[in-house]
Chain A
Amino acid sequence: MKMKKVLALGLVAMMSAAAFAGCGSGSDGSTASEGGSNGTATADGSNGQVYYLNFKPEADEAWQEIAKQYTEETGVPVTVITAASGTYEETLSSEIIKDEAPTLFQVNGPVGLANWKDYCYDLKDTSLYNELTSDSYALYDGDAVAGIAYVIESYGLIVNTKLLEQAGYTVDDIASFDDLKKVAEDITARKDELGFAAFTSAGMDSSSDWRFKTHLANLPIYFEYQDKGIDSTDAIEGTYLDNYKAIWDLYINNATCAPADLAGKTGDDAENEFASGEAVFFQNGSWEYANLTDKGMTDDELAMIPIYIGAGDEAKQGLCTGTENYWCVNSEASEEDIQATIDFLTWMVTSEAGTNMLSEQIGVIPFKQAADTTNLFVLNDRAYTEAGKTPVSWNFTTMPSEEWKNGVGSALTAYAAGTGSWDDVVSAFVDGWATEYAAANN
């Protein structure tokens, strides 16, 4: 009897401990990493504080360091929390309703802004806005400046120039879709002799499919917008979808693996194939530079060229350059916190420490006092622009929803594997756009 009593008590103690432990880990579990905040966070609340919900996990460490440095210099507490990859919306939704909500967060463009515009402070008359090199880097909600772009990125075809030379070509030989097709098909024909393929695997696993359903799909959208002179639409016509098909066919039929296997290939697969010299071309962006150099690739064997799809004036086409990262200041935060956040951002884009960190870790920043970059792909982009070529703008921020991208992605995968037809892609692209646009804006 006594034994039972002790046992029961023990169990009660254990269960209540477990219940409370569960609560504790539950609230911490939603945030990936925490740091930078210190004891003064609450005590010093009167002077405002900054809480940044960071989107880029690869830059987490750099943000933590710069936050600490800022706190040391100014005494203003800065907390940086990074959402785990792919969970930014979820994390933001739960963080923003807390008492200590993020004072600084980000949206990915007009479509992302639609969800969060109620929380965006108008940055029009702030020091931060005045630092922008061009108005086009601000994100407008009516007349209000809801977001400020903090990084400009480029993507295109990353070329392994050494392998290209082995195949008997140089980067200058590729100035149009026809050239690209000729080179790629020639490499495929001599694949066994050369020992490498033209393209890395166009993997359609979720770690890689955005390169095609979002980034590659930007090109037909861009040229259609150009023709019509618009910058967003409620119904896409798909005038350049034949070009989209041509480039997709080129990718899947001249790759390191059979088209049917693409459904399971990941982003790491493609990166490793490229870094180990199994393929000449790799569609990706300037953010990939650090990964490739970490894997031992050097500047003299890398270059980024435009993705030609046989549309528009190809002689004038540059890299795809734009942004989908906009800083937004939480309008629900207290006035002191809003001011502290704007001061912090102004410091980030004007001070030496801040601009250096942004240029090294993030890329090109569209601010007047930006530090120079060593990122080769960014330099490529600059060279193209200086040579009089027009960068292709990022229009995928106007894609109606994530659901639309997923639909196009599924259809592309099925088409590549032969289980679906190109008509399905067209229907996902054109009809899907209309339905999703209506669904998002009704």
Chain B
Amino acid sequence: MEKAIRKYWPIFVLPTLAAFCVGFIYPFVQGLYLSFCKFTTIKKATFNGLDNYVYALHDGEFWHSFWFTALFTVVSTVLINVIAFAIALALTNKIKGSNFFRTVFFMPNLIGGIVLGYIWQILLNCVLSLLEKPLLALNATYGFIGLTILMCWQQIGYMMIIYIAGLQSIPDDYIEAAKIDGATTGQILFRIKIPNVMPSITICTFLTITNGFKLFDQNLALTGGEPAHASEMLALNIYNTFYSRSGPQWKGYGQAKAVIFCIMVIIISMIQLKFTKSKEVQQ
């Protein structure tokens, strides 16, 4: 077995590696090159030096959307993980119908972001209209709250499944022993359960942070960046730079923003991974 793997591993790696190169490495490198160009189509690109980056870093709207996105990511990461963990705790207790509830909580994940965005837009606009408050497209604060509600609703189920798996993998002996030693429920939670599900926390925070940063569909459908770009997040800002301006220079600006965006997401998730990994314990 071992020998066979050592001999044939290139064959096993090949399909995925080929797909990875064609679908990721090549477009990424080309995208990097284009971010230094002025272009309408990628075949007719003229080298432009650092102009695109200079523009992107001086664009007020880009920075506004960065801070809006950062705030959104912090709020949604905390809310989603806390609520998902709480639900996971509840559903790992032996209560009746816990499998049914797991399915129910997971369901919102199966609906696409655009569809969800439009459904929630109708829903929230009706509520706001009844309360005689300005609609989503008129007030960035409501837009922010709406996006947070939508993302929580969609992602809590997914994270819950990961937490449930983590909680179920804690050996019963630990908890039993702790109980015999007279540990309280709180102590069991903070001293045994949480340290043992750290790998799940790592993966869940990673997913929610990157999802928060990369959010596009829901943002486009729910608020469309209104009013006047105030609820526009990074991905939508890049999209708008690329497509809703005229003149060849805008594509380069959009491309430069996209590269900056990519680097930011990588740095932030690296820091997060390092931080949560250091808290993981060996079982």
Q: Is A206 an interface residue (CB 8 A)?
A: yes
- A402:B135 contact, CB within 8 angstroms: no
B243 cross-chain contacts in A, Cβ below 8 A: 89-90, 402
- A112:B246 contact, CB within 8 angstroms: yes
Minimum distance in angstroms from B172 CB to a CB of chain A: 27
Give B22-62 as 1s and 0s: 1 = Cβ < 8 Å from A's Cβ atoms: 11000000000000000011111000000000000000000
Measured in the bound complex, the distance between the Cα atoms of B135 and A410 in whole Å is: 13
Which residues from 214 to 251 on chain B have a C-beta closer than 8 Å to any C-beta of chain A?
Answer: 224, 226-228, 240, 243-249
- A264:B246 contact, CB within 8 angstroms: no
Minimum distance in angstroms from A47 CB to a CB of chain B: 26
| Nearest residue, chain A, Cβ from B137 | A263
Q: Is A71 an interface residue (CB 8 A)?
A: no
A204 cross-chain contacts in B, Cβ below 8 A: 137
- A417:B247 contact, CB within 8 angstroms: no
Measured in the bound complex, the distance between the Cα atoms of B19 and A205 in whole Å is: 40
Q: In the complex, how many residues of chain A place their beta carbon closer than 8 angstroms to a beta carbon of chain B?
A: 47
| Nearest residue, chain B, Cβ from A13 | B15
A96 cross-chain contacts in B, Cβ below 8 A: 41
B246 cross-chain contacts in A, Cβ below 8 A: 111-112, 114-115, 400-402, 440
Measured in the bound complex, the distance between the Cα atoms of B246 and A93 in whole Å is: 13
Given the contacts A413-B137, A419-B134, A22 and B247 also touching, CB distance less than 8 Å:
no
Q: Is B139 an interface residue (CB 8 A)?
A: yes
Minimum distance in angstroms from B150 CB to a CB of chain A: 16
- A118:B44 contact, CB within 8 angstroms: yes
Name the one of A16, A206, A261, A402 contacting B245, with C-beta atoms under 8 angstroms: A402
- A414:B15 contact, CB within 8 angstroms: no
Given the contacts A16-B16, A114-B246, A440-B246, A403 and B134 also touching, CB distance less than 8 Å:
no
B136 cross-chain contacts in A, Cβ below 8 A: 263-264
- B240:A263 contact, CB within 8 angstroms: no
- A22:B44 contact, CB within 8 angstroms: no
Measured in the bound complex, the distance between the Cα atoms of B13 and A12 in whole Å is: 9
Q: Is B190 an interface residue (CB 8 A)?
A: no
Q: Is B169 an interface residue (CB 8 A)?
A: no
Q: Is A19 an interface residue (CB 8 A)?
A: yes
| Nearest residue, chain B, Cβ from A12 | B12
- B135:A407 contact, CB within 8 angstroms: no
Q: Is A406 an interface residue (CB 8 A)?
A: yes
Q: How many A-B residue pairs have CB under 8 A?
A: 107
Measured in the bound complex, the distance between the Cα atoms of B142 and A417 in whole Å is: 15
Measured in the bound complex, the distance between the Cα atoms of B12 and A214 in whole Å is: 56
- B134:A93 contact, CB within 8 angstroms: no
Which residues from 245 to 266 on chain A have a C-beta closer than 8 Å to any C-beta of chain B?
Answer: 260-261, 263-264
Q: Is A230 an interface residue (CB 8 A)?
A: no
Q: Is B125 an interface residue (CB 8 A)?
A: yes
Minimum distance in angstroms from B178 CB to a CB of chain A: 35
A19 cross-chain contacts in B, Cβ below 8 A: 15-16, 18-19, 23
| Nearest residue, chain A, Cβ from B41 | A97
Given the contacts A89-B243, A111-B246, A97 and B43 also touching, CB distance less than 8 Å:
yes
Measured in the bound complex, the distance between the Cα atoms of B42 and A116 in whole Å is: 13
- B228:A93 contact, CB within 8 angstroms: no
Which residues from 397 to 421 on chain A have a C-beta closer than 8 Å to any C-beta of chain B?
Answer: 400-403, 406-407, 410-411, 413-414, 417, 419-420
A420 cross-chain contacts in B, Cβ below 8 A: 227
Measured in the bound complex, the distance between the Cα atoms of B249 and A20 in whole Å is: 35
Measured in the bound complex, the distance between the Cα atoms of B45 and A16 in whole Å is: 34
- B248:A115 contact, CB within 8 angstroms: yes
A441 cross-chain contacts in B, Cβ below 8 A: 247
Minimum distance in angstroms from B245 CB to a CB of chain A: 5
Given A264-B125, A403-B245, output 13 extra A-B contacts at Cβ < 8 Å.
Answer: A16-B19, A19-B15, A19-B19, A19-B23, A22-B19, A23-B23, A97-B41, A118-B44, A401-B245, A417-B138, A419-B139, A439-B247, A440-B245
- The 7 A-B residue pairs with the shortest CB-CB distance, nearest first, are A16-B15, A19-B19, A402-B244, A410-B228, A263-B135, A264-B125, A263-B137
Give me 24 A-to-B residue pairs in the complex whose CB atoms sit less than 8 angstroms apart, sorted by A's number: A1-B1, A5-B1, A15-B16, A16-B15, A19-B18, A20-B19, A90-B243, A93-B41, A112-B246, A114-B246, A114-B247, A205-B137, A260-B132, A263-B138, A263-B226, A264-B121, A264-B137, A401-B244, A410-B227, A413-B137, A417-B134, A417-B138, A440-B246, A440-B247
